[in-house]
Amino acid sequence: MTKVALVTGASSGIGESIAIHLAATGWTVYAVARRVERMAALESRGIHTFAMDVTDDASMVEGIDRIITEQGQIDALVNNAGYGSYGPVEHVPIDEARRQFEVNVFGLARLTQLVIPHMRTRRRGRIVNISSIGGKIYEPLGAWYHATKFAVEGFSDSLRIELAPFGIDVVIVEPGPIISEWNTIAREGMVEQSVGTVYEDLARRMAVMYERVDTPRMSSGPEVVAEKVLKALETVNPAARYPAGRGARAIVTARRLLPDRAMDAIMRRASAG
């Protein structure tokens, strides 16, 4: 029987690649994003697309209802929608911080709430939350973004135990550096929020570092994340989390082993340019 997956944030990058990989292996895929016009290439592959805004409750409710009406089931939810908002805590408007949480955490949580009853009734399903190595490490000028990813990690770990009795698996995927729009948006926003402040020099140094990392030599393509998501969905007994991409596992391991003082020193050196 065909399995049905919902992938959020699918208009580009990681989400687009996940949708393509799932469809290629026989899944019925619903790919959603705010910018539906950017998903024409997915439609040409037989992937269902429609607009969904994870900060709009009605949009999410209508989207889940549509999938259940058309397919009668949702076997997998891949919570990929998210973005990186960088800048000094002193100057990032609190409304922007709230929006970061609305997109990266509360939208993910609300969609999860909406699919759980359908999975629980059938006593099977899998929820894959795209976190980040940023849910394990930290950087200056990235406090709000890292806070959201630390939240996703804790949310997912608790949910995994909560839903296990109902046959629902919860898996975290933790990408490392990935070539996508994310890097550009993060570094440009970081500089914009810092111009004219005491943090401007730091922001410009970090932007140069991010641009240097955003190359095939230092970052992976989004397909490596898609492959880990596919593994998380099709393995009989999935791991709790899957690091994905160049350096991701090493970074996560280093954070687990190094004391805070050593990690702080590494982060300071990395941001010194």
Catalytic residue list: 145
* CA distance linking residue 193 with residue 91, whole number of Å: 7
Which stretches of the chain are DSSP H helices?
A: 13-24, 40-43, 57-71, 94-101, 107-122, 143-163, 181-194, 200-213, 223-234, 248-257, 260-271
Residue 241 exposure: Cα atoms within 13 Å on the Cβ side: 20
- Identify the DSSP state of 104: I
Sign of CA dihedral 154, 158, 163, 164: positive
- Identify the DSSP state of 220: B
- Identify the DSSP state of 178: B
Partner residues linked to 242 by β-bridges: 173
Amino acid at 16: E
* CA distance linking residue 47 with residue 33, whole number of Å: 13
